[in-house]
Amino acid sequence: MTAPRTVVIIDDHGLFREGLHSILARDGALDVVGEGATSADATALVATLRPDVLLLDVEIPGAPAETTVRWVTRMHPGTAIVILTMHADRILEAQLKAAGAARYLQKTVASADLLSVMRTVQAARPVADATTESSARILTSRELEVLRMVALAYSNREIGLQLSLAEGTVKRHVSNIFTKLDATSRMGAVRHAVTLGLLG
């Protein structure tokens, strides 16, 4: 017998999140293993639980949804990302799919259609951007990992725990990022990285 697909739900409206959990829990092919309300919750739960599917709202506290999608896609490419939002916005849909989201659904979707997507959706690959790829070469892959977590407001200690690095090692990576991006603060580094397209 095939094991149920594991799911993490991220939505900052508790009542709506409970409703989603109830709908998904009734399907034997799905297993809700975690819930959260913020972008930090999303990255922490995906890193810890490595779910098959992340069901993600767009308007949640913390980093922009596109940043969260790119982080999950890069760090945990086996997790399929399904966006569930109130907005019928084709530009936003295109941006999130380019970042790595597999599906973009409105919250008016019928429960049967949502369940069908959740049972079958597969992880997508982000659309490569030549400018981003070129700019990204100024940072090592580890520095990019650290930078993305800095953008999500993680402390050095939290980054170390997520990436299994000593806090001193994280500090050295952050220092290297500052030097390479000509930044004097974490916020400045993130702003410069956004300008270069390193964070989507």
- The predicted pLDDT at position 29 comes to 93
Supply the CATH number for residue 171's domain: 1.10.10.10
Total count of domains within the chain:
2
Supply the CATH number for residue 114's domain: 3.40.50.2300
The DSSP secondary-structure symbol of 28 reads T
Question: Encoding tokens for residue 7?
Answer: 């799911």
Query: How many CB atoms are closer than 10 A to CB 122?
Result: 10
Residue 82 contacts residue 117 (beta carbons within 8 Å): yes
Reported as a single tens digit per residue, the pLDDT across 124-182 is 766 554 444 444 446 888 998 999 999 999 999 999 999 999 999 999 999 988 887 77
Please, which residues have CB within 8 angstroms of residue 158's CB and are 6 or more apart in sequence? 149
Domain-terminating residue out of 100, 120, 140: 120
Reported as a single tens digit per residue, the pLDDT across 47-56 is 999 999 999 9
How confident is the model over 68-85, as a mean pLDDT?
92
Q: Note whether 116 and 169 are same-domain residues.
A: no
26-30, 80-84, 131-135, 175-179: which has the minimum mean pLDDT? Answer: 131-135
How confident is the model over 92-116, as a mean pLDDT?
92
Could you list the residue range(s) of the whole structural domain that residue 173 is in?
130-196
- The predicted pLDDT at position 126 comes to 63
| Percentage with pLDDT > 90 across the chain | 62
